[in-house]
Amino acid sequence: MRYKLFKRLTKQSIMGLLQEFKTFALKGNVVDMAVGVIIGGAFGKIVTSLVNDIIMPPIGVLMGGVDFKDLGVVIKERVPAVMDGETVITPEVAEVVWKYGAFIQQVVDFLIIAISVFMMIKLINKLSTLRKKEEEAVVEPEPAPEPEPEPTKEEVLLAEIRDLLKQQK
């Protein structure tokens, strides 16, 4: 069964598949998205460093010299292992901690990234509307004035009568 499947995959079908993938991968949107993901990852690291190394230490000092990463509530204390010589009677149980300090740091990270993305989207939208206005201004030339309509037969006749009456006076 497997042999038949591989037999159907000819060099031509594989090349067609690769060509289709190449066409998809090199579309502008996919490449733009990949660049955005890479820049976003780097930006996330910068924001994390900003929060962890610049913003949170002064806040920790203001709170009495506390490192925000260490803030937490112990839910269950650590239980050491009970040993009888080399035999473990009861294994060690790790401490269970609710680390709200680390959570607060992540919230600050998120807020900085969210505000940055919001401002970037706002800027892009503003530039987009300005660009559309410029395109509309360039595309729409002033309309030429409409020519006066030709007089009707009655108007021509009335004009002739008027002219004849002017000549008689």
Rounded to the nearest 5 percent, the helix, strand and coil shares of the chain are 70, 10, 20
**Count of domains forming the chain:** 1
Tens of pLDDT, residue by residue over 33-53, are: 788 888 888 888 888 888 888
Structural domain harbouring 71 = 11-137
Q: Say how many Å lie between the first and final Cα of the chain, rounded.
A: 113
Task: Determine, yes or no, domain membership for 68.
Answer: yes
Task: Determine, yes or no, domain membership for 44.
Answer: yes
The CATH number given to whatever domain includes residue 20 is 1.10.1200.120
pTM: 0.52
Q: By mean pLDDT, which of 30-34, 38-42, 110-114 is the weakest? A: 30-34
User: Angle, nearest 10°, between helix axes 11-25 and 28-49?
Assistant: 60
Task: Determine, yes or no, domain membership for 55.
Answer: yes
Task: Determine, yes or no, domain membership for 144.
Answer: no
Q: Which residue has the tokens 């993305």?
A: 117
Task: Determine, yes or no, domain membership for 129.
Answer: yes
